[in-house]
Amino acid sequence: MAVYPDIALEVPAQEPEKFVQRFETVVSRYGGGRELRKQKLLFPLYDVTLRYQKITTGQAALLWQFHRERKGAFEEFSYYRFQEQAYASEYVGVGNGEQTIWNAPARQALSVEVHFDGTRLTDGADYAYEPGAGVDGADRIVFAAAPAAGGYITMSFYGRLKMRCRFAEDVLDFETWYGRLVDSGVKLRGLPNA
C-alpha cells in the first residue's frame, strides 16, 4: 500500500491537521422520546483535513500526483499523523488462532502496551515489539503464540498514529487542489485498520 508523502517535515502545516474521530452509531427513535442505539464500530475511525501554510507549487504537484496515482477516492493508502502524542486502545486486529505477526497502528512508538481482549500482555514473554519492521514502515507486533480466534488486539502507545485512509474527493483540478491545500484543506477519510 502507498504511503502519503511526508512533506509536513518540510512544509509547516496549519493547525497542523484537523483530526476528527468518527463512530458510526445507528439511532432509532420511538414514541415517547425513547431511543435505541446500535454501535456499528467498536473502535473509532479518524478523518483528517490537511492544510499547508507555505507550500510551493512543486510540493503541491507532488501531492496532486499522489492523489492521481490513488485514482482519487478509489485506492486506499497509509497516512502517519505528523504529531507524536499518546494514544490509548487503538485497534490492531481480531485474533484468528493462527496469525502471530501483526502490523501496529504506529511508527517508532514508545511506551507500548499491547492488550488482548482487555488483558495487558507482557513484552518479551507474550510478544515482541519491532519498530519499523511492518508494512509501509509501520511497527510490528510478533506474538509468542497466535491470539485466540475472535479476541480483540489493541495497543496503547506514544508516537505517530498510522491510519488506513483514502481521499474524500474524486474530482479536483490542480488549481482547486492547490487552493484547498492552502485554505480549506484536503480531506482524508479514515478506514478500518486491516
All three cell numbers of 114: 499491547
What does pTM read for this prediction?
A: 0.86
* Predicted pLDDT at 179: 85
All three cell numbers of 86: 499518546
* Predicted pLDDT at 120: 98
Q: Give the helix/strand (H/E) hosting 127.
A: strand 127-130
* Predicted pLDDT at 22: 92
Per-residue pLDDT of the chain (194 residues; tens, 9 = 90+): 899 998 755 666 556 688 899 998 999 999 888 999 998 888 999 999 988 878 888 888 999 999 999 999 999 999 999 889 999 999 999 999 999 999 999 999 999 999 999 999 999 999 999 999 999 999 999 999 999 999 999 999 999 999 999 999 987 788 888 888 888 888 999 998 86
Determine how many CB atoms are found less than 10 A away from the CB of residue 180.
19
